[in-house]
Amino acid sequence: MKTSENSLGERRHLLLFGGSASAFILAYFGARALLELYPMATWLRIAVVLFPILPFGLLLLTIIRGIRQMDELERRIQLEALAVAFPLTLLLLMILGLLELAVKLKPEDWSYRHLWPFMFIFYLVGLMTAKRRYE
């Protein structure tokens, strides 16, 4: 009986995670499209920019709840993944900041909105490294 309750809880968590991640992604790209396609008053542009914060908050709560349900080994793996991703992200930002002082970077290639995929990639690298270590 305990196993079916656990699997039901895991399925519920995955649905919540998928839904909140989808809501955030839709809100982000929706805000980006609105900002790029439609002229608006400054206050309305700021409201559009702030809108994705709500679904991101839900996503963050879902992630935290999921981590709290993990065993110690899974928590350690996640911590090591973040311990790799955070310094790599910091390094990327510092190098790009210095590079911007040295040469002119094209904003259409190296603006902040182009950097978030690197953060996700760094996390995946850390996750694969940690999982391989504990196999």
Q: What's the pLDDT score for residue 12? A: 87
How wide is the angle at C-alpha 22 spanned by C-alphas 20 and 28, nearest 5°?
100
Cα distance between residue 32 and residue 120, in whole Å: 19
- Tens of pLDDT, residues 49-70: 999 999 999 999 999 999 999 9
pLDDT 10s digits, 107-132: 777 777 788 889 999 999 999 999 99
Most confident of 3-7, 29-33, 113-117, 131-135: 29-33
pTM here is 0.76
Which residue do the tokens 């995955």 mark? 14
Task: Work out the angle between the directed axes of helices 42-50 and 2-37 (0-180°, nearest 10).
Answer: 160
